[in-house]
A and B are shown apart, each in its own frame.
Chain A
Amino acid sequence: MPRKSQISFEIEALLYSRPIPWDRLAGVLDSAMRAGAKELRVKLLLSETPLPRMLASIAGPDSGRLRQFYHHTDAWAGHLQGRFGRERPITVQGSFFVQKHPKYPRVWVLVTDAQTDFLKRPLRNLLRSLSDRPTAPILRTPEIATLLKYLEARQSLQPVRVTQLGYRSRITSAGATKAVERDRKWTDLGIAEAFADAIEAGQWVTDASVEYKADGYRTAHAKIGRYGVFTFAVRCGSALESFIDPATRLANDWYDFLRNRERAKPTNFRSRPFSITFDTPALGSIEHVSLLRAALQKLPSVSCSVLHGNPYFHVAMLDYQDGSTYEVLVLDPASITVIPQGRTTVRALQRLCAQIFADFREGRLLEIEHAAG
């Protein structure tokens, strides 16, 4: 039985010693799993500023919070640790690498064999501390379903079963002060069936876990999270190859949709509003609009000034994380219009959309068509 340190050494050698060519990524990650990695996590990040440059600028020497393994123009690897907790501090640490997607240069793929806590704590804090903070894409329910179907198509005759579904749904009880409830179900359903049930029940999926056969016989697990986090257990090659290219395309499209909407000189200071459109009249009553207002006011570090409440809803928002300003307008019971103003970053709009999806309802992002008279 190999020692734990030997397993770690092999995994580190496979994952963090040198950049991995894109066409070999799935194979290398599978090798890492065969070498003993229990789970691998792949996170998609969006950044116009090269992440390796930012990480290299803050990495310390051999010891310290962030330690660099290698730095290339389009790739970086290192080890990160952080201490958490006051009374009984614990150290959470892990290694990771990040490299640019060859086709979508704004999409960066981060891979780590560390546990979930590593992503949620030291890694999240690290990314937030970067001078040009990267953002994460948001994968909507139909997009998560589509990615899983790619895996199903690849598996041909072997089934892919949904084993766990995290979701949110609207609370319709009279007198409720919360708009949304969260739940999770453990199940054994086909992909189409699991998502059809969710959509029919008015739910939107935040994460989905599946079980499938890897190498023809081995039961492997994969999970897709709304914010572009993929978790693989046992094996990952075929799942990764099924997900990664369409997911990075979706992430790139997400970024492209949200960028360059602010008032700027090149567009003669014309804003490019967009709508978040729902399949139902989610804003068909004053009560519903109040729930949206409550969701917007929960955004941390964002002021939400109600310019008008009824019969139309109009708020001015200022995001104090980067000085972004935009307005949110409701003139239609089935959509929210977002009007970017003088400075509106992709990050600020992503935060807004994430908050609306999390605490109000998931919707589709659409361009505002030409006005009618």
Chain B
Amino acid sequence: MPQDKLTFIQRLHDAFDDYYQSVIGLHAFTHSCTWDDKTKQVRSASHSCIPRRMDRTIGQETSEDSKAKTQHSDTVTPDGVVQASDAYGIVAEMKKNFNRKSEEETFEQLKKYDGDLVGWWTPNERIAGHDIALLTGLPTSTAATDAYARWREAGNSFQRPFAIVEFSLHTQAKVYMHLHRVAGQLSEPEHDERLRQSKQIDVLHLYQLFSRWKFMDNEPPILFMLVHVYEHTLPLFAAEGDFGREGATHPVVEVSAEEARNKMEEQFCRRDNDPRQFQLPRLAWVQKALDTLVEIGVASRVVKQKSKPKYRVEVRLRKKDTKEYFAERLFALAERKQKKHAAGEKQVDLFPNES
């Protein structure tokens, strides 16, 4: 049931901030892992991928004649994978708002990375050693640290080095991203010590983080998708000359979800033709955003025979602050859905990552 308007819209904004700062924090950490303090450059032999599909060996069977051995594996998808050198890597998982209610699931998930992972940037896709890092926001780093202590007291442990790193944005004249290792330890002594003492990611690099990276593997909140689809993506499907003509109507674009997704990927995600790299954003996220544009009356569906459905959108200035505009329309939509829900229809969760 939607709360009063102010609370509802504040939740939308908070979810927006949480997601975006999680993306920035994840990229900041992976950047930190690849940074060479001596040369003041990214290590030339380093690689990173957010997220990455890795294979995990989970067991091995020997055939009855003891000759053939079969390895079983499954696929894991850490939020971030960094290879700092040919012999060392780090697997990172982002939990910006560490949730005590699901702490066991979190450590179970991290435990899956505590084995022989295949998918590194080496000839045999294996690496000599890797660390595991849990990234969490400043407000919940103590909860994460306490949860780790409880998990260890219960007799659990990681075979590989494990660390909890908190991240936060601070203002001290300039804005800095702080990375602070609050529990455990990473293998590289110099990097670990810098994180232990709280490392500042310089504002110059923050510009790069903010300018390019918009997605990680978690589903973004709907407000985030609406803003980035409407402001950054749909206008690209109209010609420059279609805008601003005197007396002319606003440009109208017709796009499919795939077309919009592909455009967003080329703008905001790195594609290295690597089969282990995910396609981001996911098609389902973009589809949901376009469907929501239809539901709030900003778009309409165009169904043509023998072709995929498209979405027709008039790209025009609806309100000075598009984010505020969409927040208000989402509230109105939630109210309508609440009434329908009361009448027995299924309600769509607008806050998929909240728990």
Contact = CB atoms under 8 A, between A and B. Distances in A.
B317 A372 contact: no
B251 A323 contact: yes
A312 B20 CA distance: 13
B202 interface: yes
B283 interface: no
B153 interface: no
B48 interface: no
Interface in B236-293: 236, 238, 240-244, 246, 250-251, 263, 266-267
B205 A311 contact: no
Given A303-B321, A304-B321, A323-B242, A312 B175 contact: yes
Contacts of B251: 323
Nearest to B238: A323
Contacts of B316: 320
A321 B171 CA distance: 35
A332 B174 contact: yes
A332 B203 contact: yes
B293 to A, nearest CB: 15
B204 A345 contact: no
B317 A303 contact: yes
B177 to A, nearest CB: 10
Interface in A293-348: 297, 301-308, 311-312, 314, 316, 318-323, 325, 327, 329, 331-333, 337, 339, 341-343, 345
A370 interface: yes
A303 B204 contact: no
Contact of B322 (A273, A316, A332): A316
Contacts of A345: 240
Nearest to B318: A303
A263 interface: yes
A333 B32 CA distance: 24
A85 interface: no
A370 B17 contact: no
Contacts of B31: 373
Contact of B267 (A269, A311, A314, A329): A269
Contacts of A81: none
B267 A341 contact: yes
A245 B208 CA distance: 37
B199 to A, nearest CB: 9
A322 B169 contact: no
A369 interface: yes
B313 to A, nearest CB: 13
Nearest to B35: A373
A371 interface: yes
B37 interface: yes
- Please indicate which of the listed interface residues A128, A318, A337, A371 has the most CB atoms of chain B within 10 Å of its own CB: A371
A184 B37 CA distance: 52
Interface string A210-238: 00000000000000000000000000000
A259 interface: no
Contact of B240 (A284, A323, A370): A323
A311 B175 contact: yes
Contacts of A342: 232-233, 235-236, 263, 267
A156 interface: no
Contacts of A332: 173-175, 203
Contacts, number: 140
Interface in A257-290: 263, 269-271, 273, 281, 284
Given A271-B212, A333-B174, A368 B204 contact: yes
Contacts of A308: 17, 20
A129 interface: yes
Contact of B16 (A263, A307, A343): A307
Nearest to B251: A323
A284 B324 CA distance: 26
A131 interface: yes
A337 B209 CA distance: 13
Nearest to B266: A269
B151 interface: no
Interface in A64-86: none
B176 to A, nearest CB: 8
A311 B238 contact: no
A339 B208 CA distance: 9
Contacts of B250: 320
Contact of B324 (A305, A312, A314, A371): A305
Interface in B182-225: 201-208, 210-212
A202 B16 CA distance: 38
Interface string B21-38: 000000000011001110
Nearest to A345: B240
Contact of A307 (B227, B263, B320): B227
Nearest to A330: B175
Contacts of A322: 240-241, 243-244
B170 A311 contact: yes
B55 to A, nearest CB: 28
B211 A327 contact: yes
Given A281-B173, A331-B175, 5 more contacts: A304-B320, A305-B322, A316-B231, A372-B202, A372-B205
Interface of B: 16-17, 20, 31-32, 35-37, 40, 42, 169-171, 173-175, 201-208, 210-212, 227, 231-233, 235-236, 238, 240-244, 246, 250-251, 263, 266-267, 315-324
Interface of A: 128-129, 131, 263, 269-271, 273, 281, 284, 297, 301-308, 311-312, 314, 316, 318-323, 325, 327, 329, 331-333, 337, 339, 341-343, 345, 368-373
24 contacts: A271-B211, A271-B212, A273-B207, A305-B324, A306-B323, A307-B227, A311-B171, A312-B169, A320-B244, A322-B241, A322-B244, A323-B236, A323-B240, A327-B211, A331-B174, A331-B207, A332-B203, A337-B207, A339-B211, A341-B232, A343-B235, A371-B208, A372-B202, A372-B205
